[in-house]
Amino acid sequence: MNTIYLDNNATTKIDPLVLKEMMPFLTDYYGNPSSMHKFGGQVSSDIAKARHNLASLLNAQPDEIIFTAGGTESDNTAIYSALEAQPEKKHLITTRVEHPAILNVCHHLEERGYEVTYLNVDEKGRLDLEELRGALRPDTALVTIMYANSETGVIFPMHEIAKIVKERGIILHTDAVQAVGKIDINLEKLPVDYLSLSGHKIHGPKGIGALFVRKGVSFRPHLRGGHQEHGRRAGTENTAAIVGIGKAAELAQINMEIENTGVKHMRDTLEKGLLKTIPDAIINGDTENRLPNTTNISFKHVEGEAILLMMDGHGIAASSGSACTSGSLEPSHVLRAMGVPFTFAHGSIRFSLSRFNSDDEIKVVLKELPPIIKRLREISPYKNEESTPRSCSCK
Ligand SMILES: *Cc1c(COP(=O)(O)O)cnc(C)c1O
């Protein structure tokens, strides 16, 4: 049975063209790009090409791109860089709905004496920009706000955020791992200082990412050692993966239009079809400002994990959002921050599509899912409860 893969915000399939581009670097071209001989030098021009492709996708300069080992490293590097560059400033601002690669760094920093402001979101997952404005302080070292939410697809108004933060001269980082390749990002017009992205979220390989650091903005390396990446990230380059993310960036640019037409159309068909055939279902998040590939739907009185298991039995792969500890019955931190009622939050499913999905696959989901929900509701222990506030204690 072929899997219908609708979990592209967790990771994506490597585009076959990316793999083809990478293969020679795992076989014949194994030279170290730092070596003096031709064997190494040749590889270094392929790295330069990849850097150029990434810069071009973001409308940045190639020397503003630092390769890292993924989105997590880029996020960590950005935060620690801003703090180390301004040791007298002990305050950070972020949001309640960030990826753990941001939130857990912030929690760690709180234990080390930093103060962190976590901005709230409303019931649609939107920020209050006045709350952001009010949170900025003279000792704020960094504002780090994600571009688009992995679980709901909600896009934050990054241009307005940048205007507010940069007026005060504070360093601004955005985790754009979910936004890159799905929506247009033009760093010549968008004055963020640091931006994180990841290879495996854009049909490239895992374990490779990049951090954009705007020219002239303070930067302190997270990894020290050799002189790779102009001394900004030490360690022998992961050449095959770098070539892979470069090709993925090139293809993302070419396919951006498809993301916003074909992929969006499939997502909308899925969403409308499910709302029409399944009662007591709601969409989570601001549908006006949302990634074209994502929908997060809650089905009242059913457990997301049960839905996932039954869909899995039909070869459909999706996600229940990130339950904070696997096996726990706590709804995701994002839905809790949005105040989604308990009876809905537990039954939430995230479908995230890609250009490798087809209309036929969406038809299969529309046929298989309604009877699954019906059956689970028949056996649900909650079906007679209304909004029982079973407490959520998970941090
Ligand atoms: C996946 C993801 C990350 C982590 O990226 P890795 O390359 O897996 O380390 C960070 N932020 C967001 C928003 C993500 O979706």
Whether 331 contacts 392, CB under 8 Å = yes
Alpha-carbon Rg for the chain in angstroms: 22
Alpha carbons 271 and 350: distance in angstroms, whole number: 11
pLDDT in tens, 69-83: 999 999 999 999 999
Task: Among 198, 222, 334, name the best residue to mutate to test ligand 1's pocket (greatest count of ligand atoms within 8 A of Cβ).
Answer: 198
Instruction: List residues with catalytic annotation.
Output: 324
**Residue where the block lists tokens 């920020």:** 127
Whether 54 contacts 63, CB under 8 Å = no
Alpha carbons 173 and 164: distance in angstroms, whole number: 13
Domain ranges of the chain: 4-9+256-374, 16-252
SS3 319: strand
* Residue 327: predicted pLDDT: 55
Alpha carbons 179 and 201: distance in angstroms, whole number: 9
Our answer on whether the CB atom of 210 is closer than 6 Å to any ligand 1 atom is no
Our answer on whether the CB atom of 78 is closer than 6 Å to any ligand 1 atom is no
* Residue 37: predicted pLDDT: 85
Cα 100–106–110 angle (5° rounding)?
140
| Closest residue CA from atom 8 of ligand 1 | 71
Residue 395: pLDDT band (50, 70, 90) is very low
The 8-class DSSP code of residue 260 comes to I
Report whether pLDDT(325) > 50.
no
For 275-288, b where at least 16 C-beta lie within 10 A, e where not — what string? eeebeebebbbbee
Our answer on whether the CB atom of 71 is closer than 6 Å to any ligand 1 atom is yes
Task: Among 7, 11, 72, 203, name the best residue to mutate to test ligand 1's pocket (greatest count of ligand atoms within 8 A of Cβ).
Answer: 72
Alpha carbons 261 and 182: distance in angstroms, whole number: 11
The mean predicted confidence, pLDDT, of the chain is 93
pLDDT in tens, 337-372: 999 998 899 899 999 999 999 999 999 999 999 999
Residue type present at position 276: K
Burial of 188 (0-12, 13-18, 19+ CB in 10 A): exposed
Maximum pairwise Cα distance, the chain: 74
The dotted CATH code for 16-252 is 3.40.640.10
Report whether pLDDT(322) > 60.
no
pLDDT in tens, 142-184: 999 999 999 999 999 999 999 999 999 999 999 999 999 999 9
CA of 225 to the centre of ligand 1 (A): 25
User: Whole-model pTM above 0.75?
Assistant: yes
Whether 76 contacts 99, CB under 8 Å = no
Task: Among 175, 242, 293, 350, name the best residue to mutate to test ligand 1's pocket (greatest count of ligand atoms within 8 A of Cβ).
Answer: 175
CA of 243 to the centre of ligand 1 (A): 19
Measured from the CA of 146, which atom of ligand 1 is nearest?
13
Fold held by 4-9+256-374: Aspartate Aminotransferase, domain 1 (3.90.1150)
Our answer on whether the CB atom of 74 is closer than 6 Å to any ligand 1 atom is no
Whether 259 contacts 251, CB under 8 Å = no
pLDDT in tens, 221-237: 999 999 999 999 999 99
